[in-house]
Amino acid sequence: MALVVPLEIAASYRARRRGLLGRDGVEGALLLTPANSVHTFRMRFPIDVAHLDRGLRVIAVRTMRPGRLGALRPRARHVLEAEAGAMERWGLRPGTTVEIG
């Protein structure tokens, strides 16, 4: 059984740059594409971050508090962001493939 999560896609430079800045939360997740790193400067809440490869397979998942600079993941082509704790609830971990539909 597939888990369906509301997804917003940030594919333009402007949308990726803004990301979740200025928001108090997010319903579902935000996919930044292309992207291989993120930061949480000026963020209002902690987030979960999943780095995805070209095939949308999860490379790494971590929780980031506001005011942090995330690690650069050279193999990553996309970054999925959600509220802290969401990815654990969804069972998203390295090796999982994300489907967008």
Q: How far apart are CA 4 and CA 14, in angstroms?
A: 26
Distances in whole angstroms, Cα of residue 61 to Cα of each of 36, 42, 83: 12, 21, 13
Does residue 101 sit within a domain? Answer: no
Position 14 scores a pLDDT of: 94
Please give the model's pTM, rounded to 2 decimal places.
Answer: 0.93
Average pLDDT over residues 76-82: 97
75 lies in a domain? yes
User: Which pLDDT value is given to residue 4?
Assistant: 83
Query: What is the helix (H) or strand (E) element at residue 32, kind and residue range?
Result: strand 29-32
- Note the pLDDT tens digit of each residue in 11-57: 999 999 898 988 998 999 999 999 999 999 999 999 999 999 999 99
Residue 1 has pLDDT above 60, yes or no: no
d(CA 56, CA 54): 6
The tally of domains found in the chain comes to 1
Res 2 pLDDT > 60: yes
Q: Which domain holds residue 68?
A: 7-90
